[in-house]
Structure 1
């Protein structure tokens, strides 16, 4: 049976019905645990790679991924075959075994899913790297993840080689380069995925289970340096399946219809990886990839490729509402805009809607984190309250607690705790951090301050965690403090986030210099800039006599604020 596409009117009518049901359904238990207002879903007992390909026969010839810059594209059947070809060669030529960690360092390109699914099909664990990382950041992740192979976009290869030299590691580097010549001392990905002489029978020896770790992105958790987040197949399948019920945002793919999703959010991040790539490819949608957010390519993609669903972070909403280049034509095919990663200012929403000049489309805000694979809550499509991040998605339970872990009631403010099948297995090789974030038999401490109203709508009001959010990206102060202390003229340092009109927040450093030093602030800025990704760089230095600390030695950032 062919399922009908959701027209805009049907989408709104459906969500109005759902919201009406939600309003009248009691989501609070007697002990003040908030349950999802939506029906629970059954989680298929399979790996994430099997989940993505399970309906392949319904759309084999439809486009899976199309590059919005080069127009390079792959159909679903091409992507399936090439990912399996890569998996076969990883096992045969590189001796990849189950649970071997393989790094991917690349911007959003059509080959990204091929590499991801190829590694998973070979039994490996994918760890994703930000393509703008410096060699120092790459070195650290390679070392703590014990990476066996790096698969990198050609422009990232020099950084990877420098990182491997720093780490004193000699591992294979596979270059994602469409045309020759290859970077020196690398293997061609294209040769590995286009190899016509492979025997797929070798893949029968791969045995992966739902509770095995599949993807390991990095997050800073509630505090401290980045940690490897172990997301199992079940975590990822669950979060994809949780998005297919009453909270579904896409039209079904049929013989005559295929939604187009603009994939500009980075696929190395859990937001882009699960919500944009895994969930939408499992439903047969077309991904339109952009390597990064650039106004010209972004606007060209909207106008030429007619995207139906936009997944964005607040800075993109700001751009869509303020740029003089934006016209109603850019919104001509847009049916839904979903924002996440940071709070969405209502004023920016109003400005964006004014640019559409009366054309109606849904605006949804979601909340999540890498540790939740990542989606936790989603607002109803017809919700015009942009302060809320919506209701818990299916199978998710929430608690708001005080500092003694007592449950609080409707409207009371405390730390948000989360439970569900999408919550990570834990931080890799970090029992201390796991003890800190998991309490009361599996409840995850989000580190976010929230309140939940009587209808189950969640409002995030602040953060317990010390992370700085720059354009939606996590910047851990501890990481920058460690870099600062490597400078020979710096005795002590502390970093906080300060408000910024364009990025949301930006890092500011307080520095105590070594006696007799005359180091200048611009020298410190340049020192840090060489060692961290651009969004982490410090632009403001304040010299102080001492850093305020507690008796136990923790930095009292609230005093610096």
Structure 2
């Protein structure tokens, strides 16, 4: 049975234009410019720009890039004009991505937690020709750029709050580009043909996947436009019930991640909201910012909710009464955790959503007028889904688990240079093209009679660390390069601070097992990961030694058995499961 959005969800209007044009032009449905708030404001300094100023800055950056890179909007392939952004959040981050699009280029946002090796992989894979970065991660960017042959004069610095005085000799800053843009002739208009927005890649975002290295997800202009419209139309029903026109939104989610890129970077601005930008999470700064700017909407990840609940005495020191809605994504928020938060803030609405990089991103979401704790809400307009059991048959009843398949105009184009993975994830049947999510769900009905989706388990085995995704297979491949690792498996274990963290089960070669104590070997393995991988991939769950890794007859790691083993061990210790 195919499931559809509830009847209260309006139908989806749609068009095909560049993201930048869509975001600026009221004819496509954006909130009236004259009534919109300033789009981005720095949560640390209060620095802000009007919509007109933000658009001008983006246009000037595009002109400067045209001069420096020798690119014209209607010449050459978009694949010859790929630029990476490796930076903490800034008030100009989204504007820079639109500047790249203005040249008919492609933006590839990179996780600021990456090591130089991980960043180099993304730069090489995407074919990036330049990098926008910032001072705190400049050394990492320089090492990665050197590894792939990007010259120093193609590395530009985004200016973080309170760091504008730290200009580095030999590097152009964003402000330098803006001043250069004022001296460059206007760019010719983009000449797009009908339907180009549905085919042309706007962003290359890297998904952890389930095996090997991260895969580059090709996200088209229309994918972002569609999800922006879907969320705005969906959320308007709940917002109007509570008399909300525009609001103040927290901009803490990394804009390099599809969740932040779309939900904060585009949806909030298109509906006329103001985004208060923070470069990274610090609990005190987070609370101070909510109080100072009277923030109404908090899009966060579950570990932040856990941090709040663990510091309730600190919460009492701040006025958080402006908050109406806290919304989580990137990982499921447990029903008990949500209810604990509501006991502290009974006037808040606490909702959550579900999506993937491959669906760019949101598939379903809680509406403020129909929240059921523990579920990920209802389908957005223009989306339909199927639930398939483990024999490949469609599930037609409520409450029965199966894998979620998704159809949506936001479902992306596939993986760059990876036909095998694309064919496995984006499948066809008599009903069209579907995204196999790899997530196990059930469909139930809310007390109001509307269908809700609940995530039961992650069939893809991804580990969600503080909003980041970690593929066990990637860590396993790296562990196998250590001489004391003969075989291994990595699973997620619960962590009060980070939500989940990786734990490794390791088999040591018999010839080496007696040479060192297990504690020494474990320490070496942990350092081996710390040296080469981003911090959220570190083995904070520890290393446990086994005689053999449990596997199926086909050789697939039976992680469920390892998870059961871990649960039993934690239960015996009285630890939280």
TM-score of the superposed pair, with normalisation by structure 1: 0.88
Name the counterpart of 2:176: 191
Alignment check: 8 A CA contact 2:238 2:368 kept? no
Structure-2 separation of matches of 1:196 and 1:365: 41
Name the counterpart of 1:452: 443
Name the counterpart of 2:459: 464
1:480 is aligned, of 453, 475, 479, to: 475
- Shifted more, 209-218 versus 59-68: the winner is 59-68
Structure-2 separation of matches of 1:402 and 1:223: 23
Name the counterpart of 1:48: 19
Partner of 1:386: helix, strand, or coil? Answer: coil
2:353 matched to 1:366?
yes
* 1:372-451 equivalence runs, <5 A: 372-409=359-396, 410-439=398-427, 440=429, 441-451=432-442
2:66 matched to 1:91?
yes
Structure-2 separation of matches of 1:51 and 1:264: 24
- Shifted more, 470-479 versus 421-430: the winner is 470-479
Structure-2 separation of matches of 1:473 and 1:87: 30
Name the counterpart of 2:550: 548
Structure-1 separation of matches of 2:35 and 2:181: 19
Structure-1 separation of matches of 2:97 and 2:238: 23
1:344 is aligned, of 323, 333, 336, to: 333
- The 3 A distance-change label for structure 1 pair 221 and 145 is same
Name the counterpart of 1:63: 38
Name the counterpart of 2:575: none
Alpha-carbon distance, 1:342 to partner: 1.3
Structure-2 separation of matches of 1:502 and 1:126: 32
Name the counterpart of 1:128: 109
Alpha-carbon distance, 1:315 to partner: 1.5
Alpha-carbon distance, 1:105 to partner: 0.8
Alpha-carbon deviations, 1:336-368, whole Å to 9, x = none? 111111111223223322333x5x232221111
2:133 matched to 1:152?
yes
Alignment check: 8 A CA contact 2:19 2:222 kept? yes
2:314 is aligned, of 320, 325, 329, to: 325
Alpha-carbon distance, 1:62 to partner: 4.4
Structure-1 separation of matches of 2:480 and 2:185: 51
Partner of 1:202: helix, strand, or coil? Answer: coil
Partner of 1:118: helix, strand, or coil? Answer: helix
Alignment check: 8 A CA contact 1:130 1:268 kept? yes
Partner of 1:245: helix, strand, or coil? Answer: helix
Name the counterpart of 1:25: none
- Shifted more, 290-299 versus 480-489: the winner is 480-489
Alpha-carbon deviations, 1:280-335, whole Å to 9, x = none? 11222111011111011101001111001111111122233331111285321112
Structure-1 separation of matches of 2:157 and 2:521: 40
* 1:66-81 equivalence runs, <5 A: 66-81=41-56
Alignment check: 8 A CA contact 2:404 2:439 kept? yes
Alignment check: 8 A CA contact 2:211 2:474 kept? no
Name the counterpart of 1:521: 522
Name the counterpart of 1:106: 87
Partner of 2:177: helix, strand, or coil? Answer: helix
RMSD over aligned CA atoms reads 2.4
1:306 is aligned, of 294, 302, 312, to: 294
Structure-2 separation of matches of 1:495 and 1:246: 38
- The 3 A distance-change label for structure 1 pair 249 and 49 is farther
Structure-2 separation of matches of 1:87 and 1:450: 43
Alignment check: 8 A CA contact 1:133 1:532 kept? yes
Name the counterpart of 2:121: 140
2:260 matched to 1:289?
no
Name the counterpart of 2:574: none
Alpha-carbon deviations, 1:348-407, whole Å to 9, x = none? 223322333x5x232221111111111100123144521211111100001100123211
Name the counterpart of 1:511: 506
Alignment check: 8 A CA contact 2:246 2:271 kept? no
Alignment check: 8 A CA contact 1:485 1:493 kept? yes
Q: Which runs of 5+ in 2 are unaligned?
A: 564-577
Structure-2 separation of matches of 1:197 and 1:389: 47
Structure-2 separation of matches of 1:107 and 1:400: 38
2:268 is aligned, of 280, 283, 289, to: 280
Structure-1 separation of matches of 2:36 and 2:333: 38
Partner of 2:235: helix, strand, or coil? Answer: coil
Alpha-carbon distance, 1:223 to partner: 4.5
Structure-2 separation of matches of 1:477 and 1:150: 29
Alignment check: 8 A CA contact 2:3 2:386 kept? yes
Alpha-carbon distance, 1:61 to partner: 8.7
Name the counterpart of 1:558: 560
- The 3 A distance-change label for structure 1 pair 300 and 220 is same
Name the counterpart of 1:534: 535
Structure-2 separation of matches of 1:365 and 1:342: 9
Alpha-carbon deviations, 1:251-290, whole Å to 9, x = none? 69xxx97521111111111111101111111222111011
Structure-2 separation of matches of 1:249 and 1:462: 30
